[in-house]
Structure 1
Amino acid sequence: MMNFDSALKSQRNTNAKLNGDNEGYNPDMKTPLGIEKHASIVYTITVFYQVQEEICASCFKCMVLSVREDGGMLHYDIMDGKNKIFTVVHNVNGHKAKCSCKMFEMVGLLCRHIFVVFRDLEKIPLKYVVNRWTKDASLKATFEIDGVIYDQNGPKDEKKMLLNKLWSNVHCCIDLAGSNMEQLAAFSQVINEQKQLLMSGKEKLSPQHNKKTVKESFCGST
Structure 2
Amino acid sequence: MLETCWSIESHGRDVYTHEVFAEFQRQVVAARDYCHVKSIVQVGEVRTIGISSKSGKVRVVSFNTSTKAAHCSCSMFESLGIICRHIIVVLKNEGCNEIPSQYVLHRWTKMAARQLSYDANGHELEGPSTCLSPTIKKLYSETCSKFSLALHAAKHCEEKMRYFHKVVGDAFTQLEQMGAISEQSKVQEFESFVGTSFPSVISIHPPDVANTKGSGKRLKRGSEQTVNQKKKRANSIQKVPDK
Q: So what's the TM-score if we normalise by structure 1? A: 0.51
Map Cα deviations across residues 92-136 of structure 1 (whole Å, 9 max, x no partner): 221111101111011100000000011132211111001221112
Does 2:111 correspond to 1:136?
A: yes
Map Cα deviations across residues 168-195 of structure 1 (whole Å, 9 max, x no partner): xxx6xxxxxxxxxxxxxxxxxxxxxxxx
Name the CA shift for 1:141/1:64 in 2 (closer, same or farther; >3 Å): same
Q: CA RMSD for the aligned pairs?
A: 3.1
Name the CA shift for 1:61/1:48 in 2 (closer, same or farther; >3 Å): same
Name the CA shift for 1:141/1:79 in 2 (closer, same or farther; >3 Å): same
What pairs with 1:1-222 in structure 2 (closer than 5 Å)? 28-119=1-92, 120-140=95-115, 164=127
Unpaired segments ≥5 residues, structure 2? 119-123, 135-243
Please state how far the C-alpha of 1:47 moved relative to its aligned partner.
1.2
Contact 1:44 1:133 in 2 (8 A): yes
RCO higher in structure (CA 8 A, sep ≥6): 1
Q: So what's the TM-score if we normalise by structure 2? A: 0.47
Provide the rounded CA distance (Å) in 2 between the counterparts of 1:77 and 1:124: 20
Contact 1:139 1:165 in 2 (8 A): no
Provide the rounded CA distance (Å) in 2 between the counterparts of 1:43 and 1:164: 21
User: 3-state DSSP class of the match of 1:87?
Assistant: strand
Please state how far the C-alpha of 1:142 moved relative to its aligned partner.
8.1
Structure 2: which amino acid aligns with 1:125? P
Name the CA shift for 1:166/1:123 in 2 (closer, same or farther; >3 Å): farther
User: 3-state DSSP class of the match of 1:29?
Assistant: coil
Contact 1:39 1:48 in 2 (8 A): yes
Aligned length: 128
Provide the rounded CA distance (Å) in 1 between the counterparts of 2:7 and 2:70: 18
**Which of the pair has more CA radius of gyration?**
2
Unpaired segments ≥5 residues, structure 1? 1-27, 144-159, 172-222
Q: Which structure has the highest strand share of the two?
A: 1
Provide the rounded CA distance (Å) in 2 between the counterparts of 1:76 and 1:107: 22
